[in-house]
Amino acid sequence: MSATIELRAFRDINELADASAATVRGHIEQLAGVEAAVSVTGLTFLAPEDLGQHLGTAQTYAASVPLESRPHGVFCLNLGDTGGAALAEQMTGTEIAGTLSNMQESALKELMNILASGFLDGIANSLGIEIIHGPPTVYHDSGPVIADTLRPSGTEQPLLIMVNLGVELPALTETPVTFYLIPSADEFASLLNDLS
C-alpha cells in the first residue's frame, strides 16, 4: 500500500461501516417502502488482486459503482446467486422461473442502487464530504470475470476494504451482502487521518 493509515484510523473505518449500515437501512425503508434490519457482521482488509477469489467462482449477482471524486476508485457489492434471486423474488412478489424476468431484473438493479447509494452516503456523511459516483453496472457472472472488469487503471495501488452486512427484509431470512470499497489508498488515508 502506497500510503500509511495510522492505527487509530482503523477504528474510524469500523465507525464508517456502522454508519453506512444505518444509512443503508434508511435508504431501503425510504426508497423501497419496506422495513429492514441491517447490521455489520465483518470487516476485512484484502489485497485488490484477491477480489475475484472472494467473489467466488460460481455465478453471482453483483454490481460495481465508479467513484468519481475523493476517494477515487470503485465500489462493488455482492449479493450471491441465491441471495440475489431471493431478494428479486421478495421485491417483486413473484418466483423466478429459470432466469430473471425483466421486472425482477429491474427490481434487483434498483435494490442494488439503493444499497450502493446508502453505503456510500454513510461514508460520505461520516467523512463530511460528498462522494460523487456513477450509476451501477449489474453483473450475473463468476467472481474472476467480474473482478477483471474492475481492475483499476493507472499505476496507483488501491486499497480493498471488505464489509459484510446482514440485510433482513420482511418474510425473508437474513441475506448476506458483501461490500467492497476499492479507493485510492493515498486519498482514503488522507481522509481518515483528517478525522483523527
Query: For every one of its 196 residues, what pLDDT tens digit does the chain have, with 9 covering 90 and above?
Result: 444 455 556 677 878 888 888 888 888 888 667 788 888 888 888 888 888 888 889 999 999 999 999 999 999 999 899 888 888 888 888 998 888 899 988 888 888 888 888 889 988 988 889 999 998 888 999 999 998 887 665 545 567 888 888 888 776 667 788 999 988 888 888 888 777 5
User: Which CATH number is 7-195's, of 3.40.50.1220, 3.40.50.300, 3.40.1550.10, 3.10.20.30?
Assistant: 3.40.1550.10
Residue 29 is predicted with a pLDDT of 80
| CA gap 16, 37 in Å, rounded | 18
Dump pLDDT digits (tens) for 47-97: 888 888 888 899 999 999 999 999 999 999 998 998 888 888 888 889 988
- Count Cα neighbours of 56 within 13 Å in the Cβ-side half-sphere: 12
Alpha-carbon separation of residue 144 from 43, 52, 58, 62 (angstroms):
21, 4, 9, 12
Is omega for the bond preceding 71 within 30 degrees of 0, making it cis? yes
Q: Where are the domains of the chain?
A: 7-195
Q: What are phi and psi of 46, to 5 degrees?
A: -130, 165
State pTM to two decimals. 0.83
